[in-house]
């Protein structure tokens, strides 16, 4: 008997009918003879509403209290799914993250999993129960409830799949799988049958709707992840570490991330230690800096531009402005309305011409490129946010992603 770990996202458990639908799916998986552990997210937009509520009470709610509050969202859906299964005559038990044995560090609201004790889950499974686990949460060694960061029910599911030595981790969501581009932007986008961990991680980091940490973890333990719809019966996309991927496009997909702001420090003196003095204080306040571009200097002065998420832009500017002044830079400017469009594919490695093809496609669509960054398997252009739909469509066509 194999163990299957499934995860159902917020939209899949958004109301009572959908919860019954999910219970039906979980039940049918068990009927096929497997032991099932199902991780659930909070119903619909519950987490967003809880965050709003907290901010009506306090401008800066304590992270520890925030975690106890947010953890309730997943507890609600978890208990309801267990009830729906029991109502259908199937033995089931709901467990909080802590009860399921998920241990974390004490970094409230963005805790990291430090260990997993699968004993309780195994006991429940051996007694014939379906186990429903509240996603996105764990507990510290001091028995405080933590959450693992937005979207982290995926991470819970992958971690449990690894800890329970499951055959695979199945992620049920409101789309049918991973597409060559967001189908809302590109009607011809195709669902991929499979994709490698590396490519999926780049797509997730650059805008695809999957939690990057969960892909990283799955890759580290070579745990295959199947992404499919909880609403329709259709084959999904298998994310895995295999290499049975010949005969396919060299570009796997196009991703867009609209949450981008840039900050430019003008007239920075060119001497050792300047970059460190700008970026250390940002790291200290927890602002993560993404693309960094610094030109070679002309007359020992250079401009230095970097991007952050729009949410971090204000804080980043507050930190950087005084430093810029103290090192004798000319000033700082920022822009909020930017986005990243990326093409990703392992096939681009050591193959010339992809960057040029991307720049030409954007040029022909009349789109100005603000910044460019690359990895071995990704090319990213930073463009005006309003241009995202056109940019994604132009790239999808240029790299012939609508063709099998
Ligand atoms: N409910 C949490 C969130 O909305 C976790 C999740 O959905 O995965 O971020
Ligand atoms: Mg959610």
Q: In this predicted model, what pLDDT tens digit does every residue of 41-70 receive, in sequence order?
A: 999 999 999 999 999 999 999 999 999 999
Q: Residue 57: inside a domain, yes or no?
A: yes
Q: Residue 229: inside a domain, yes or no?
A: no
Which amino acid residue places its CA nearest to atom 6 of ligand 1? Answer: 151
CATH of the domain at 129: 3.40.1160.10
Tokens of residue 221, six digits: 């333990």
pLDDT number for residue 247 = 47
Pocket test for ligand 1, best of 47, 72, 113, 135 (most atoms within 8 A of CB): 47
Residue 136 Cα: closest atom of ligand 1: 5
pLDDT number for residue 248 = 61
pTM for the model: 0.90
Domain that holds residue 46: 3-174
CA of 78, nearest ligand number: 1
257-310: pLDDT as tens digits? 999 999 999 999 988 898 899 999 999 988 999 889 888 877 888 999 999 999
User: Considering Cα of 186, then 189, then 194, then 199, what sign does the dihedral take?
Assistant: negative
Q: Which of 143, 174, 205 is the last residue of a domain?
A: 174
- Alpha helices, DSSP H, located in 336-379: 354-364
Q: Residue 91: inside a domain, yes or no?
A: yes
Run of H or E including 104: strand 102-104
Q: Residue 216: inside a domain, yes or no?
A: no
Number of domain units in the chain: 2
Within 13 Å of residue 381, how many CA atoms lie on the same side as its CB? 25
Q: For the chain, how many residues are written?
A: 404
- Integer angstrom CA distances of residue 11 from 96, 207, 391: 20, 19, 28
pLDDT less than 70: residues of the chain: 243-249
CATH of the domain at 338: 3.30.2130.10
Residue where the block lists tokens 């509050």: 69
pLDDT number for residue 243 = 63
Pocket test for ligand 1, best of 77, 151, 156, 171 (most atoms within 8 A of CB): 151
Q: Which of 174, 205, 230 is the last residue of a domain?
A: 174
Q: Within 10 A of 254 (CB to CB), how many other CB atoms are there?
A: 31
Burial 162-190 (b: 16+ CB within 10 A, else e): bbbebebbbbbbebbbbbbbbeebbeebb
How buried is 83 (Cβ within 10 angstroms: 0-12 exposed, 13-18 middle, 19+ buried)?
Answer: middle
Run of H or E including 264: strand 253-269
Tokens of residue 388, six digits: 């995202």
Tokens of residue 44, six digits: 């619909």
Q: Which of 174, 192, 208 is the last residue of a domain?
A: 174
**Ion ligand 2 nearby residues (CB, 5 A):** 10, 41
CA angle centred on 307, ends 306 and 313, rounded to 5°:
115
Q: Within 10 A of 235 (CB to CB), how many other CB atoms are there?
A: 12
**Pair 344, 206: CB distance under 8 Å:** yes
Run of H or E including 215: helix 212-221
pLDDT number for residue 218 = 97
- Alpha-carbon torsion, ordered 23, 131, 74, 201, to 10 deg: -90
């Amino acid at each position: 008997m194999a163990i299957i770990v499934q995860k159902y996202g917020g939209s899949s458990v958004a109301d009572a009918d959908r919860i019954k639908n999910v219970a039906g799916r979980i039940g049918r998986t068990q009927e096929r003879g497997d032991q099932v552990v199902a991780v659930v997210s909070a119903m619909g937009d519950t987490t967003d509403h809880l965050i709003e509520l907290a901010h009506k009470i306090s401008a800066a709610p304590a992270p520890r209290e925030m975690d106890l509050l947010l953890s309730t969202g997943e507890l609600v859906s978890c208990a309801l799914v267990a009830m729906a299964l029991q109502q259908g005559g199937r033995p089931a038990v709901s467990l909080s993250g802590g009860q399921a044995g998920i241990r974390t560090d004490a970094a409230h609201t963005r805790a990291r999993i430090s260990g997993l004790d699968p004993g309780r889950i195994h006991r429940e499974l051996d007694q014939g129960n379906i186990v429903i686990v509240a996603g996105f949460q764990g507990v510290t060694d001091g028995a405080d409830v933590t959450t693992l960061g937005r979207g982290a029910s995926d991470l819970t599911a992958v971690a449990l799949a690894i800890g329970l030595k499951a055959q695979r981790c199945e992620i049920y969501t409101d789309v049918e799988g991973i597409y060559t581009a967001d189908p809302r932007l590109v009607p011809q986008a195709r669902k991929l049958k499979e994709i490698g961990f590396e490519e999926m991680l780049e797509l997730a980091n650059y805008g695809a709707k999957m939690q990057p940490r969960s892909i990283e973890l799955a890759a580290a333990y070579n745990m295959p992840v199947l992404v499919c719809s909880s609403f329709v019966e259709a084959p999904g996309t298998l994310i895995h570490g295999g290499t049975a991927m010949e005969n396919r496009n060299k570009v796997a997909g196009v991703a867009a991330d609209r949450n981008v702001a840039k900050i430019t420090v003008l007239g920075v003196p060119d001497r050792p230690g300047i970059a460190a003095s700008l970026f250390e204080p940002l790291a200290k306040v927890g602002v993560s800096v993404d693309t960094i571009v610094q030109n070679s200097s002309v007359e020992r002065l250079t401009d230095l531009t970097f991007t952050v998420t729009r949410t971090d832009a204000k804080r980043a500017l507050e930190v950087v402005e005084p430093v810029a002044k103290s090192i004798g830079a000319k000033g700082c400017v920022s822009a909020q309305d930017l986005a990243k469009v990326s093409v990703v594919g392992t096939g681009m490695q050591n193959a010339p011409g992809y960057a040029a093809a991307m720049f030409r496609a954007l040029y022909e669509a009349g789109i100005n490129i603000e910044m460019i960054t690359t990895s071995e398997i990704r090319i990213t252009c930073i463009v005006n946010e309003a241009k995202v739909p056109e940019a994604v469509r132009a790239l999808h066509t240029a790299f012939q992603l609508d063709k099998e």
